[in-house]
Chains A and B, each alone.
Chain A
């Protein structure tokens, strides 16, 4: 159904960003506009999801050009759900930024860029045109480049160089893949490509193009062996920025893979084997990497990689059940990873360090906040009935159906290592006897902050923790949606029909 309002989440974020630029010097006004804007964006995306749920897939043909000639925007359930999660993460990070981001950074345009990043993310989820997806990816990375370097500390710049180099390389690979795909089919519209690629006789070239897409998206979503930029850069910017990066940026790559490898390239045995092996090694290397780390933000960075592996495993198994598991895990992961990086910021504000060796006694000092943090950590591990459990369960069920025992072994190993890592983190940070830490002059500790800032930081963590509990306890509702999405991914005829109208 044609509906021009589906681009509203994108346009509205642009509007907020522009409004923020007009109040460049007034930082309090910027904070207010950002939070209110994120709230309205959340409302808009809830409405979008409800609309898609009621009336099916919504499309918008830019400029009235009929598909496949113009640029198409498509909101199916997967897109609308991810736009909603982007808005949720955006709201949480915006509120958290009010409390935690230093004025110097706000003066250099932190908030406008944050909203441009969220605009890029929403656009990437909604577009139905492969070249347009490339453009949204570029908007995302240029915004993230600014966010990762804003402040200009030494570690930030060094991390940024690795981040920038790898992301630019990923863009070139993606662009190369688009060029070959256009040469093969003469189309850019994803629904049309789905029909055209099936007709191409030179299957070898199609597989090469698919692998190029896999490499391009693989760098973005940090899968083995392309993830090395992530642990080198995600712990360098302030926690609010790490939170939006950890929660959403790698997930766009996963979304793009889910879309491209179910709609355009239907994986054959070769491609599923490649994806499955990548998934297994991603899980393993992420978990083992996290074992070796002492900095809690680096531990979380490696856990991002490990859990990207779970979603990739769902794609590798390639059945309705496993894809539903991947989608469920994606939902859970966006909420929990955003929250984890905000929590690391919270711990830093109390203690002035990220080092597990130096931290300790947090539970004794702040029992309530510790319990709040425990919710997220337990969800991450996937203790039933919390949110991390259900996605993994579905993926394992799907893998059982296709008798992929090795993959199940790696998923269980990854989950076990995650449990071990979190248990170690808990005992080091929360239960160990506290040590005397030197007071650092340049850090504003939590107790020295204004009440409003304290509340902002806590409120965003509480918000996402409740949401993660909600995903766990309301699993049936999320599961039904995930199953619906997975069915549509396995059989894209509804998507194609909605776009091409035939």
Chain B
């Protein structure tokens, strides 16, 4: 399971960075999404994957007895997913607006910021 995750994470990072290096705006966003997913899986992997019980203390017990899954990485991933969802939604609207105004999705054509005003 770990090995599979490691390969997937590596692929996601590589694909994400490759996509970000393209000139197309849409590919830029796809790259960011892939990178974000890679990072989330990385948190999941590094939180130690164990086959255990959920971390719930029963009514008659005082502490966790069995091997349990660490809940913190899951909380982190949930937070990161929600945040990246918001940011990606913004980024997609931004490239749509930029495409309408600039009329190109090629980053090389976007040099209005370098013009001497």
Which residues of A are interface residues toward B (Cβ below 8 A)? Answer: 131, 134-135, 138, 141-142, 145-146, 149, 152, 154-155, 157-162, 164-165, 168-169, 171-172, 175-176, 178-180, 182-183, 186, 188, 232-233, 235-236, 294-295, 353-355
Tell whether B87 is near chain A: CB-to-CB under 8 Å.
yes
Asked if residues B98 and A158 are in contact (CB atoms below 8 Å), the reply is: yes
A183–B47 CA distance with the chains assembled, in angstroms: 6
Tell whether B39 is near chain A: CB-to-CB under 8 Å.
yes
Tell whether B117 is near chain A: CB-to-CB under 8 Å.
yes
Q: With contacts A142-B87, A154-B102, A157-B101 known, is A176 near B42, CB below 8 A? A: yes
Asked if residues B90 and A232 are in contact (CB atoms below 8 Å), the reply is: no
Complex contacts, B35 vs chain A, CB 8 Å: 169, 172
Q: Residue B90 contacts which of A145, A162, A235 (CB distance < 8 angstroms)?
A: A145
The tally of residues in B whose CB lies under 8 Å from a CB in A reads 41
A134–B72 CA distance with the chains assembled, in angstroms: 15
B114 closest partner in A (C-beta): A232
Complex contacts, A295 vs chain B, CB 8 Å: 116-117
B84 to chain A, nearest CB (A): 8
A171–B88 CA distance with the chains assembled, in angstroms: 12
Interface of B is mostly: helix
Complex contacts, A135 vs chain B, CB 8 Å: 79, 83
6 CB < 8 A contacts A-B: A158-B111, A161-B110, A171-B87, A179-B39, A182-B43, A355-B117
Tell whether B91 is near chain A: CB-to-CB under 8 Å.
yes
B44 closest partner in A (C-beta): A179
A161–B96 CA distance with the chains assembled, in angstroms: 11
Complex contacts, B47 vs chain A, CB 8 Å: 182-183
Tell whether B14 is near chain A: CB-to-CB under 8 Å.
no
Complex contacts, A157 vs chain B, CB 8 Å: 94, 97-98, 101-102
A183 closest partner in B (C-beta): B46
B19 to chain A, nearest CB (A): 11
Asked if residues B83 and A138 are in contact (CB atoms below 8 Å), the reply is: yes
Q: Residue B113 contacts which of A141, A145, A232, A355 (CB distance < 8 angstroms)?
A: A232
Q: B13-54 interface mask toward A, CB cutoff 8 Å, 1 = contact, 0 = none? A: 000100010000100100010011011001101111000000
Tell whether B73 is near chain A: CB-to-CB under 8 Å.
yes
Tell whether B69 is near chain A: CB-to-CB under 8 Å.
no
Q: With contacts A183-B47, A355-B116 known, is A142 near B42, CB below 8 A? A: no
Tell whether B107 is near chain A: CB-to-CB under 8 Å.
yes
Asked if residues A179 and B32 are in contact (CB atoms below 8 Å), the reply is: no
B31 to chain A, nearest CB (A): 9
Tell whether B76 is near chain A: CB-to-CB under 8 Å.
yes
Q: Residue B87 contacts which of A138, A152, A155, A160 (CB distance < 8 angstroms)?
A: A138
Complex contacts, A155 vs chain B, CB 8 Å: 112-113, 115
Complex contacts, A131 vs chain B, CB 8 Å: 76, 79
Tell whether B59 is near chain A: CB-to-CB under 8 Å.
no
Complex contacts, B98 vs chain A, CB 8 Å: 157-158, 160-161
